Amino acid sequence: MKPPRALAVPFELGRPFGAPNEVEFQRKVLHNCLELLERESGPVLEDFSDLPPVDENQGSENWACPVNFAPPMDDLNDADLIYQSLLQETNLLRPWYEEAVRNYKRSAFGVSGKTTAEIVRFIADLLVDPQNQQPPIDGVNLGTGFKRMADDLRYFYTEAAIARPDKKSSDIDVANWLWGETTLGKVLVAIRDYAMECDEPSLKVLSVTAMVPSHQRHRTKHG
């Protein structure tokens, strides 16, 4: 979009002001954003470095995803194996995702217009054979199509992970699980590493800030 002024925040998708019910913290984010209007020239892109405050009422009980996955794949060179691993993850999460939709009466999944099976097939093929992939969504380029599909999977995983109403979870807990303990996280990190060095402009421009959250870039080659 190339806006004249933008504040890049390290929060999870759907929470542009950080944690819910944290009025002072949200006000700080808003003030930082509005201060960019005082700049006499642009474009201006700045990072907001603070993480949302931790809920002190969560107690000492560790959060755990309601589904036990096999360890993330080590070999990311076989598209069919990656596809099967991602398909298994989404199938295991589906009951909890559906529970989340029933509980919250909404879902962010669906931006791409694709099913989970279509998305994981494309993402597996993109990682293993990126040179031969065409834009997966009509009317948009390869990078935008990938971003919409990847965001859909992230919404699907995240909403499933927080479906249990008896468990509280912080954004960081869920993000650490998604990016550190799932095949999806490992695959998205690997795609970002490729995109940082590729010649496809629509992927490369997204790789800098829009593929992996800043608080998870320690997992990438180009943190």
Beta carbons of 187 and 123 less than 8 angstroms apart: yes
Q: Give the span between the Cα atoms of 77 and 88, in whole angstroms.
A: 18
Beta carbons of 89 and 96 less than 8 angstroms apart: no
H or E segment and range at residue 123: helix 116-128
Contacting residues for 105 by C-beta, under 8 A, at least 6 apart: none
Looking up tokens 């009317």 gives 139
- Residue pLDDT, tens place only, 32-85: 999 998 888 778 888 888 887 765 554 445 567 778 888 888 889 999 999 999
Q: Give strand pairing partners of 47.
A: 8
The string over 122-131, giving b where at least 16 C-beta atoms fall within 10 Å of a residue's C-beta and e elsewhere, is bbbbbbbebe
Q: Give the span between the Cα atoms of 47 and 214, in whole angstroms.
A: 10
Percent of the chain past pLDDT 70, that is, above it, reads 90
Domain boundary assignment for the chain: 5-53, 63-219
Q: Considering the chain, what is the average pLDDT of its residues?
A: 88
- Full pLDDT tens readout for the chain, 223 residues: 567 888 888 777 667 888 777 899 999 999 999 999 888 877 888 888 888 776 555 444 556 777 888 888 888 999 999 999 999 999 999 999 999 999 889 999 999 999 999 999 999 999 999 999 999 999 999 999 999 999 999 999 999 988 876 556 677 788 889 999 999 999 999 999 999 999 999 999 999 888 998 889 899 998 7
**In this predicted structure, what is the pLDDT of residue 213?**
87
